[in-house]
Amino acid sequence: MNEIPIYNPKVAYKFILGKTNYTQYENLAEKLGYLKTDKLLILHADDLGLSKSVNQASFKALKEGLVNSGSVMMPCDFISDVGNFAVNNPEIDLGLHLTVTSEWRDYKWDGVAKSNLISSMIDKKGNLFENKKKFTLNASTKDLKKELQAQIDLAKSIGIKPTHIDSHEGALFFDQNIFKTYLEVGEENQLPVFVPSDVAVHFDKSFPKPENVVIVENFHMALPSLEFKDWNNYYINIIENLKPGLSEIIVHLGYDDKEMQQITVEHPNYGSKWRNLDMEVVSSENFKQALKDNNIKLVTWKEIKNIIY
């Protein structure tokens, strides 16, 4: 029996897989040219392709080095702009934010694959399910694999050369078979697979960790409990207390403009103000200075991919 836990990056995901025993790339830092004691950080922007606002902010942040990685939601309406950006900026680190839910009230999408080929993933209105629970309870792994592969294939067809895959809303982390399908797709496409340490502790002898799985030991992302007034302090505190090993900070960039306000109506979490605050933080001089003062080593998924393949 599979358990569906409440999504929280700080709380362990509960798979029934027996003992918690796994090995990480003990020498990942050395393979990347660093010391074991170094603090390695991926500054990552989610949700490229979601909107013009998200794209504009994310492109600016990536080109100016405010973040050094991003990932793309392939079922969304503005992926062609991301494809053009990728072609014109081949040095930029872009992965795929594999998307199996459609969470906004008035802005919906279906899958990349034809709906009749992934019917278990589509609701009565013809969209991907609104939330992770409905997706997890209904989706077949056969349909899921078709959709995830279709997203990868579409990305490549428009000029994106994916550096890794991760999961929108963490939706692929909740069910054992769905999680394994996510890992399989990564292996078959020779892509590094992002797995938070809270999920990774459940790899064991009966469920060995594939070689392309990259366990992010310290994963940070603003949660709905964070008050807007505490935004800057939250991120600075992360930087000042970062531990040795591989960490990732995920931000959601955008502007508090009419487009984002309409998309995120009645949804302050990850909404227009939230995204504008994330953009303000990574653009701020005190955030940049905190990275320098704490001797943070910025690494990319592209670098990690190069040592795996």
**Domains, the chain:** 28-308 (3.20.20.370)
pLDDT attached to residue 26: 56
Q: Hey, what are 278's tokens? A: 């994330």
Q: Per-10-residue mean pLDDT for the chain, 309 residues long?
A: 41 38 62 94 98 98 98 98 98 98 97 98 98 97 98 98 98 94 97 93 83 92 96 98 96 98 96 98 98 98 96
pLDDT attached to residue 11: 40
Whether this prediction's pTM lies above 0.85 is answered by: yes
- Say how far apart CA 92 and CA 64 lie, in whole Å: 11
Beta bridge partners of 164: none
Q: Which residue has the tokens 């629970």?
A: 133
pLDDT attached to residue 218: 92
pLDDT attached to residue 204: 83
CA distances from 87 to 4, 119, 179 (A): 39, 33, 31
pLDDT attached to residue 103: 97
Q: Hey, what are 36's tokens? A: 């074991």
pLDDT attached to residue 206: 87
Q: Which residues contact 253 (CB under 8 A, 6 or more apart)?
A: 45, 47, 54, 57, 58, 61, 67, 275, 278, 279, 282
- Say how far apart CA 151 and CA 142 lie, in whole Å: 15
Residue 164 near residue 190 (C-beta atoms within 8 A): no
